[in-house]
Amino acid sequence: MSDAPDRTYRDVRALWRGMKLLEVLAQIGWAKPSVLSAATGIDRSTVYRLIETLVSLGYVTRRSADGTVAMTRKVRRIAAGVRDDDVIVAIVGRHMAELVHEVKWPSDFARLSNGIITIEESTHRLSSVTFYRATIGQQRSMLRSALGLAILSVLTRDEIAMTIDIAAKTVRGNDINQRSIARAVRDIHRLGYASAIGKIDPNVSAIALPFRARQTVGAINIVFFRKVMSPQVAADRFLGHLQNCVNNIVSEIAQQGK
């Protein structure tokens, strides 16, 4: 039986075994090489070599009294480098890839941070009917984009007031005010989704749904050619797929937080 799963590109066996060893140490703590060998299925001589390498790199320490080994704080420093933002974008990306496979049209994921809506993931590169190639990093208007409108629809009054205040100071020519937001949010709640027609690009329309998960307030859209269909038609065809995508994202992020 192979130590590593089959892949298109061959695994680096030693690296795979080393990481497996660390996973087991994380679960059981101080352990003898024989125990690690039995737990990982890696032969004992290889376990000894891996331990020597990990000790020399400072990731594992050995207790001379009984020969057991355990991970060091150096491993914790690596783990501390895993940001929630990176994990969330990775989760969103996986589910968006499934969405574009289902609906064919591309999507963007945007997040609200410091009063600014920024696209952090996109499936334009995965769609055969895309019209953009690079949207990641682009900012979107609160009231002129489906993404922005969707995010506004799940903000509290205090969050909206703070967003307006920040936008007034940081976004040139912003047209955000309480009255326009209230009107837009009423329309979104009535329809069940946010939409924009030719606001960012005259040839493009979009529908979007928001989500809140842990500290993230974001939205995912489906973007399509304006001449091909209206937002209402797009919603009739794709809103169920988009809702499933959002629900799955929220569920997985919640599981990550446990």
- The percentage of the chain sitting over the pLDDT mark of 70, rounded to a whole number, equals 88
Q: What average pLDDT does the structure give for the chain?
A: 86
**pLDDT tens, residue by residue, 111-140:** 988 778 899 999 998 888 877 767 888 888
**pLDDT tens, residue by residue, 233-254:** 999 999 999 999 999 999 998 8
Fold classification of 13-80 (topology level): Arc Repressor Mutant, subunit A (1.10.10)
Tell which CATH classification among 3.30.450.40, 3.30.390.50, 3.40.640.10, 3.40.50.2300 matches the domain 84-256.
3.30.450.40
In terms of Cα–Cα distance, which of 220, 199, 214, 215 is closest to 113? 215
The number of helix segments (H) and strand segments (E) in the chain equals 9, 8
Q: How far is CA 152 from the centre of its chain?
A: 20
Domains of the chain, residue spans:
13-80, 84-256
Which residues fall within 8 angstroms of residue 124, CB to CB, at 6 or more apart?
106, 108, 130, 131, 132, 133, 134, 135, 223
